[in-house]
A and B are shown apart, each in its own frame.
Chain A
Amino acid sequence: MSDSIKMTYTVSDTDFTRAGEASSDVKKRLRQMGCDPEVIRKVAIAMYEGEINMVIHANGGEIEVEITPEDITMVLKDKGPGIPDIEKAMQAGYSTAPENVRALGFGAGMGLPNMKKYSDEMNIETTVGVGTTVTMKVHQ
């Protein structure tokens, strides 16, 4: 489709202070495109939580974003440890984040529930020892 835009971001886990740059860029672009502020906020929060998870739990990875007039699709791929029990991980308050991550303001166990809440569709594919791919869609 001609009016679809695709972006790819590499998320590095070496510099925590830069985590969120990809989400920030997507937010800026959506704003420039004149998207509905409510849609922008949903995309920004869902993607930011996912991006942070890649940094703190999975040694970084790659994010693909596709914007069409109908929806915004985010695919977050990492080669981290995988999630052994998705149902448990999805529960509000469940977190395996170590103390040093909590000291940075993360590890409330609210990230995945937030992603579920702010996206209109969400799918997690994960294999322990191989990695995790989270796909989220927000309708325009």
Chain B
Amino acid sequence: MTIKEVQEALGARFVSGEQWADREVHMACGSDMMSDVLAFVKDRAVLLTGLCNPQVIRTAEMMDVVAIVFVRSKKPDEQMIELAEEREIPLICTGHRMFSACGILYEKGLRGGADYERLH
């Protein structure tokens, strides 16, 4: 799946970074707690979150996340957009809530990676 397909599936819009929309997404994770996100390294993941502050971009940077989806129409500010552009991380905004947004992407075949097996 590409970043563009994620955006289209969610009926979402690009806030920035649309020029990188063709990049591949291999998995997804959704959380509002950044250390939860950092607990499992994911390969080419898209991050879904309802949190909207610069640490979301930094967390994504440390993990090499390929794109960030803000749920519930959360709008990143100028500083966040600038941080994300420097790191080539597209920002996407959707009106869906977390549960629905994750469900839609799951239905499209995106998975959360091997986390479940590792936890149990």
The minimal Cβ–Cβ distance linking A84 to chain B, given in whole angstroms, is: 21
Known A-B contacts A24-B61, A45-B63; A17 and B79 likewise in contact (beta carbons under 8 Å): yes
Within the assembled complex, what's the spacing in Å between the Cα atoms of A108 and B54? 18
Would you call A19 and B55 a contact (CB within 8 A)?
yes
Would you call B58 and A24 a contact (CB within 8 A)?
yes
* B residues near A104, Cβ cutoff 8 Å: 51, 53, 55
Known A-B contacts A104-B53, A106-B34, A107-B33; A20 and B58 likewise in contact (beta carbons under 8 Å): yes
Would you call A111 and B35 a contact (CB within 8 A)?
yes
The minimal Cβ–Cβ distance linking B89 to chain A, given in whole angstroms, is: 12
Known A-B contacts A41-B64, A105-B32, A110-B33; A48 and B39 likewise in contact (beta carbons under 8 Å): no
Would you call A108 and B55 a contact (CB within 8 A)?
no
Whether A58 is near chain B, meaning CB under 8 Å from some CB there, is: no
Would you call A20 and B36 a contact (CB within 8 A)?
no
B54-70: which have CB < 8 Å to A? 54-56, 58-59, 61-64
Within the assembled complex, what's the spacing in Å between the Cα atoms of A108 and B58? 17
* A–B Cβ pairs within 8 angstroms, 5 of them: A17-B53, A23-B62, A104-B51, A105-B32, A106-B34
Q: Which residues of A contact B (CB under 8 A)?
A: 16-20, 23-24, 27, 37, 41, 44-45, 48-49, 52, 102, 104-111, 113-114, 117
Q: Which residues of B contact A (CB under 8 A)?
A: 32-36, 38-39, 41, 49, 51, 53-56, 58-59, 61-64, 79
